[in-house]
Structure 1
Amino acid sequence: MEYIKEHIWQILIGLNYVLATSAVVTVLFKKINPTKTLSYIIVLLVFPFVGLIVYYLFGQEYRKSKIFNRKHVLNQSVVKQIQKELELDIKTIESVDELLDEKSKLIRLLYNSEKSKLTVKNEVKLIKNGDKKMQLLLEDLNNAKHHIHIEYFIIKDDTIGTKFLDVLCHKAKEGIKVKIVIDDVGSDISSKMKRKLKDSGVELRKFMPVLFSKFTGKMNYRDHRKIAIIDGKIGYVGGINISDNYVNSNDTRYWRDTHIRIVGEAVRQLQILFFTTWDFTNEENVKISKDYFPENDCKDDVALQIAASGPDTDWSNIMESIFVAITNAEKYIHITTPYFIPNDEIVTALQVAARSNIEVKLIVPKKSDSWIAEYATNSYLEKLLEAGVEVYQYTKGFVHAKTMVIDDVFSTVGTANMDYRSFNINFEVNALIYDRPFAKELNQIFSSDLEHTSQLKLDVWKKRAKSTKLIEALARLAAPLL
């Protein structure tokens, strides 16, 4: 015992490196992204104890494991019937192929990867900023007749959040079935409000609660989706959470964001996606009835696919769809993202597009809500500028929109950022929209956002201080871990 007391630090350091070496071997055998592999190795070997804590919290790999099994929902007869009903006839597929030309590869990619059906009977409304979104959403919630399904990364019971939750309580008391899934890390609802929800009949579930013995790895795999479904007929998806920060109240920083409201067949895909999450958060298997999938009477013809990705999918569906869209662009690529920390494939695709005389424009925040994300994003911009990509920094406030529009025909709006976490770790959902009028409208918003940006010039950007470049390099190295 005396020897142990005198050499306690040497023993602990030795034990640390035994465990760290074991972790390094585990990381190497996983064959994950080289950048992330190197980041873990450096943290584990250079920072005693801290490295093990980081790996313990963020390094566990659950992709494709049984913890995220969706088969119970997808195998139910009701869901199988709905999927069958969404199958398109050959004539419709040919008409969409003619519209999209080479971009029809996207449709086949998502179907082959995730059985994500293309739907055509949809009405899609583009929503700019949270105040307008909440106005529309609250109106739809108040008009609900059968059920309300909510799945959000962030719900807070601040001013707008309380108004939102009060509506849900009121509807539940009316007899409307109300189900809510919140991410346990992103959301913050008081115990008092939770009691009110329960007493009103609202069913609330937490996605992967982070509690002591269950803490391992669950900081990584978060439900970053923002989905609202009303009566199985109306669906919302996009970047806007439920909090005062998102509605541009007088005492908050200007928040520029984008969401969409869908009426039509695509809502069925959102409904199935919600039930897979709801089933995961429940101890008992969920039984799904046809009542949640009412007949669609939408007269508009907007072609749309729902792309979902996360540790429960075999492929990185959203990343792959973005990659294919970029590589098939012929005229222009316009991207808005709050966090630009992409993988090598996306960087190369953008560089090749720009060098092929395709107009590539990227809007990112000048001042982010995360300093490490800001520096990590900036570390990628010089190589893009060298390839001819036009990079613009948004200066009016914080741009949180996650959108892309290509060649006046393809658009995507959703929850996925252009970063490693959204591509590989979090549960995300994007709407892929194949429609010229919608693409034109989204591109008009992109052009108006450009009026509140400053364009980066390569010669000036290169003159950043060496200390700034060092911080950027360190942030880029750490980004895959966070």
Structure 2
Amino acid sequence: MSLSSIAQNISYLILLINIILAVSVIFIERRNVGVTWAWLMVLLFLPVVGFALYLLFGQNLSRIKLYKIKKETEERFRSIIERQRKQFRQHRLTYNDDSAAEYEDLIYMNLSSAMSLYTQDNDVRIFTDGQAKFDALIDELERAKHHIHLMYYIVHDDGIGRKLLDCLVRKANEGVAVRFLYDPIGSHRLHSRFFEPLVKAGGEVAAFFPSRIPYLNFRVNYRNHRKIAIIDGKVGYIGGINVGDEYLGLDPKFGYWRDTHLRLQGSAVKQLQSQYLLDWNLASNRMFEGEAYFPDFKGGGQVGVQIVSSGPDQEMEQIKNGYIRMIHLAKESVWIQTPYFIPDESLQSAIRLAALSGVDVKIMIPARPDHKMVYWASRSYLGELLPLGVQCLLYEKGFLHAKALVIDGKVATVGTANFDIRSFKLNFESNAFIYDRSVAGRLKSIFEEDMAHCRELTLAEHLNRPRLHRIRESVTRLLSPIL
């Protein structure tokens, strides 16, 4: 066979593969129209490279049943959900805070679409920096009696990383069940030997979607971005703080690290535990279940909380839908803090409508970015909102990593999800939705305190920006769905 015949056969094979992929994208995976056209262009203009990119970034995980759970456990949980849905439909629920009654349709939406139980026996404590959060967490870990479950996107082998590890080793040696789940993409600089002392002490460690083949991971685009800690099934932590010295403000590049993290004590912790169980069983193939991980107890507070999780394994973008519904319900104010602001059209439209309706919309992002391309894309989206009266604030004290939305000082959400397309579509995320004037009011006060360290991005500044900045914004905006 001649070289020309071999080359022709290879070209036919590539064409056939592209046709199969195109059929998959259009008819089988039923993607959104914009995503469909994007992949068709990639396959058309980059026939070989496009195939590799599709394998790495184009999988539709929502067509795959990832999570495994015993049938009786799933049936029991669904019966609890249905029981609460029935209570809502029959208006048989009473609320500790009247703000919860105002947002009953939001609670019901999260319950129906995300199977998120509404609980209102919770105590909620807010942390705004890493040092305070880790001081409280490690103190809590030292008192653990039965189990410790940790899940972090980023783990560094540095001061706080080793301090946390030493604590976990001590608890494992005491007989406490310790499980640590981490994301290998977020923690790509972490050597596998880091966890050896914990494993030798009897602890368990698992990586979420690890590379089965060195340097090749077909799920590299899907990250577990959750930061969750659960102690004895009674206390939980959720928010934006990972494990690393930078989160304590010790990285000279960023300086002070401003974040938002929550300590929960109450029945909402059971929802965190359920999500951890699902993630752990998927990542480790070492399933754990049992009543000991879901102890019966009465929480010490009166705060209404729902834990809402979303990920690329689901058709609906539950956290994003929660954001949109909250914004639509706003009467007075919509205050957003996020390190990355790359909304899709539905979220951007919700913010536009709120601003046009006279609602006070404030969006705070860091003045100094950690990812420059994301920052320029964020500036592009913010620029669209400035003519509508939206106030855009650039945080200058250090790096702002908080992920918080507060509506009218009555309802709020804090968690791991940024206001960007990656968090909505590609990452595994979890947020706490909080229905309580006191907690929401405190988050609003924190926002006001942060404003003292911000400068405002004005419409005049945006319109007079250099041409190079305009080009950067346009290019990064085109790439924003995959940033």
Inter-partner Cα distance in structure 1 for 2:72 and 2:243 = 29
Q: What is the match of residue 197 of structure 1?
A: 198
Inter-partner Cα distance in structure 2 for 1:223 and 1:425 = 9
Q: What is the match of residue 183 of structure 2?
A: 183
Residue 151 of structure 1: how far off its partner (Å): 1.2
CA contact (8 A) 2:96 2:302 kept: no
Aligned pairs for 1:8-407 within 5 A: 19-20=17-18, 22-29=20-27, 30-47=29-46, 49-66=48-65, 68-72=66-70, 75=73, 93-95=93-95, 98-187=98-187, 188-212=189-213, 215=216, 217-249=218-250, 251-254=252-255, 255-284=257-286, 286-407=287-408
Deviations 1:60-108 (CA, angstroms, capped at 9, x unpaired): 1111412x13443773577578869989797872436843454221110
Alpha-carbon RMSD across the aligned residues, in angstroms, is 2.7
SS in 1 for 2:70: helix
Q: Pick closer, same or farther for the CA change 1:231–1:80 going to 2, 3 Å.
A: farther
Deviations 1:285-333 (CA, angstroms, capped at 9, x unpaired): x241111122223232000000011133342110111110000100000
Deviations 1:177-224 (CA, angstroms, capped at 9, x unpaired): 001111121124323322212101110011110233894541122111
What amino acid is aligned across from residue 429 of structure 2 in structure 1? E
CA contact (8 A) 1:334 1:405 kept: yes
SS in 2 for 1:95: coil
CA contact (8 A) 2:207 2:284 kept: no
Residue 52 of structure 1: how far off its partner (Å): 3.1
Residue 390 of structure 1: how far off its partner (Å): 1.2
Inter-partner Cα distance in structure 2 for 1:92 and 1:246 = 44
Task: Give the structure-2-normalised TM-score.
Answer: 0.91
Inter-partner Cα distance in structure 2 for 1:283 and 1:238 = 26
CA contact (8 A) 1:238 1:260 kept: yes
Inter-partner Cα distance in structure 2 for 1:426 and 1:319 = 12
State which drifts further: 461-470 or 230-239. 461-470
Deviations 1:397-450 (CA, angstroms, capped at 9, x unpaired): 221110010011101000001111111111100000001111111011111111
State which drifts further: 203-212 or 81-90. 81-90
What amino acid is aligned across from residue 60 of structure 1 in structure 2? Q
CA contact (8 A) 2:96 2:303 kept: no
Residue 459 of structure 1: how far off its partner (Å): 2.7
State which drifts further: 43-52 or 346-355. 43-52
CA contact (8 A) 2:412 2:433 kept: yes
Inter-partner Cα distance in structure 2 for 1:78 and 1:146 = 24
Inter-partner Cα distance in structure 2 for 1:343 and 1:438 = 28
SS in 2 for 1:149: strand
CA contact (8 A) 1:130 1:257 kept: yes
Q: Pick closer, same or farther for the CA change 1:125–1:343 going to 2, 3 Å.
A: same
Give % identity: 37
CA contact (8 A) 1:405 1:439 kept: yes
Task: Give the structure-1-normalised TM-score.
Answer: 0.91
CA contact (8 A) 1:102 1:328 kept: no
SS in 1 for 2:238: strand
